[in-house]
Amino acid sequence: MAQNFLSKLVGSFSQGAADNPTVAMIEAAFSHHNLDIRYINCEVPPDRLRDAVNGARAMGWIGFNCSIPHKVSVIEHLDGLGESAAVMGAVNCAVLRDGKFIGENTDGKGFLQSLREVVDPGGKTVVMFGAGGAARAIGVELALAGAARIIIVNRGKERGQALVDLLNTKTSAKAELVIWQGMCKIPKDVEIVVNATSVGLYPDVDARLDLDPESLRAGLVVADVIPNPPRTWLIRQAEDRGCDVVDGLGMLVNQGVIGVKYWTGVDVDPLVMRDKLEEIFAA
């Protein structure tokens, strides 16, 4: 019987790739479901991103992830965009379709799936810190899910205003910008708080959002996109004050499930991936 020694390939392009556990999570799912696919985790600086995408084409990859700092800049190197990625202007997952790399975004969908395990954002008021690629994805998905008001808190006016304008023109949500200067307090009418920045990401685990923790209160839903470590300063502060919390592991697992579905058509078991991540972070 003939054997096939040519595995299908997917992977990730980012900076800080050595700290990204996605490879372990995805390969655990591939193994569990007996999928002959390898996930290649690659350190790619911005000036080599075009080469990386062309290399994936040359090697016949069926798709790849993009993480910091490539989620927006990768678009110019792709052949097209899926609907949600086109609205967001950010891509974290490329999929080979009919010989072309099409950009999709699973960040927002993965986040929304995790959030909905705690609260439905429909009709809610949200404060979101950050305006980068992940924030754009999350903001759009929250708006499309019916969030009534989204307050973007960002230090830079230009990028923050661009996200606000996007939400106001492309969705029914009402968005506004607050320039992040000094200590930020969460208004009492806010129901959901989201950290969509990289503050607290390993190895800078002691970094803190410039946020007054005393403004967090019981009944507030607090979500952090940081998967490593799962229990960030924000998550710990929120738990101490009786908030309902959503950690970054859920978003990472759910976007992985969606990405594998895009690449293979297979629905993988999310518990296999979460168990692998919990094993890694407990070490």
CATH 3.40.50.720 describes domain 109-246: yes
Domain covering 8-105+250-282 in this structure, CATH number: 3.40.50.10860
Q: Which residues have a catalytic role annotated? A: 71
Query: Across residues 270-276, what is the average pLDDT?
Result: 96
What are the phi and psi torsion angles at 74 (to 5°)?
-65, -20
6-27 pLDDT, tens digit each: 999 999 999 999 988 899 999 9
User: Where does CATH 3.40.50.720 sit in the chain?
Assistant: 109-246
Distance CA 80, CA 103 (A): 6
pLDDT of residue 39: 98
Rg of the Cα atoms in the chain: 19
* pLDDT band of 283, cuts 50, 70, 90: low
Distance CA 133, CA 138 (A): 9
* pLDDT band of 197, cuts 50, 70, 90: very high
Report angle CA 253, 256, 258 to the nearest 5 degrees.
Answer: 115
213-255 pLDDT, tens digit each: 999 999 999 999 998 888 999 999 999 999 999 999 999 999 9
User: Where does CATH 3.40.50.10860 sit in the chain?
Assistant: 8-105+250-282
